[in-house]
């Protein structure tokens, strides 16, 4: 009989945001498969985004917050409901948020 592996298909991202706020990290990858990864990034006001360029293309969706996303040296204003594409191996970081920033991220491959 074949082995059945159950894949989680429902994710409570609000719960992840609460856990991140109480932890020493500012992100949580909740789905990490060969062809896709997804997670939540949370930065409090003035908190530093220390991420390095990734090995996969990435899309960010701003759930709430303000500030800027620097992509390859150029600043982009961010606001709720906006999405941003970052190609693999391109330097990028969030900064300048004056209120809590919550962003969902999606990789076109695994989060390694």
Average pLDDT, the chain: 94
Q: Which of 16-20, 89-93, 108-112 has the lowest mean pLDDT?
A: 108-112
What is each CA distance from 105 to 3, 6, 98, in whole angstroms?
Answer: 31, 23, 20
Q: What whole-number distance in Å separates Cα of residue 46 and Cα of residue 12?
A: 26
Provide the whole-model pTM: 0.90
Q: Which of 2-6, 10-14, 27-31, 57-61 has the lowest mean pLDDT?
A: 2-6
Instruction: Identify the pLDDT of residue 4.
Output: 64
Q: What whole-number distance in Å separates Cα of residue 42 and Cα of residue 100?
A: 7
112 — pLDDT class (breaks 50, 70, 90): confident
Instruction: Identify the pLDDT of residue 8.
Output: 83
- With CA atoms as reference, report the closest residue to 89 among 54, 50, 40, 44: 54
- With CA atoms as reference, report the closest residue to 96 among 18, 23, 59, 44: 44
6 — pLDDT class (breaks 50, 70, 90): low
pLDDT of 1 higher than 80: no
CATH class of 13-107: mainly beta
């Amino acid at each position: 009989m074949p082995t059945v592996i159950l894949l989680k298909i429902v994710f409570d991202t609000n719960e992840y945001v609460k856990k991140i706020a109480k932890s020493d990290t500012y992100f949580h990858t909740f789905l990490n498969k060969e062809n896709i990864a997804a997670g939540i990034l949370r930065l409090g006001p003035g908190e530093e985004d220390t991420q390095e360029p990734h090995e996969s293309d990435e899309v960010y969706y701003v759930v709430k917050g303000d500030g800027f996303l620097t992509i390859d040296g150029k600043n982009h204003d961010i606001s709720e409901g906006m999405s941003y594409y970052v190609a693999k191996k391109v330097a990028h970081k969030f900064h300048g948020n004056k209120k809590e920033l919550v962003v969902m991220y999606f990789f076109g491959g695994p989060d390694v």
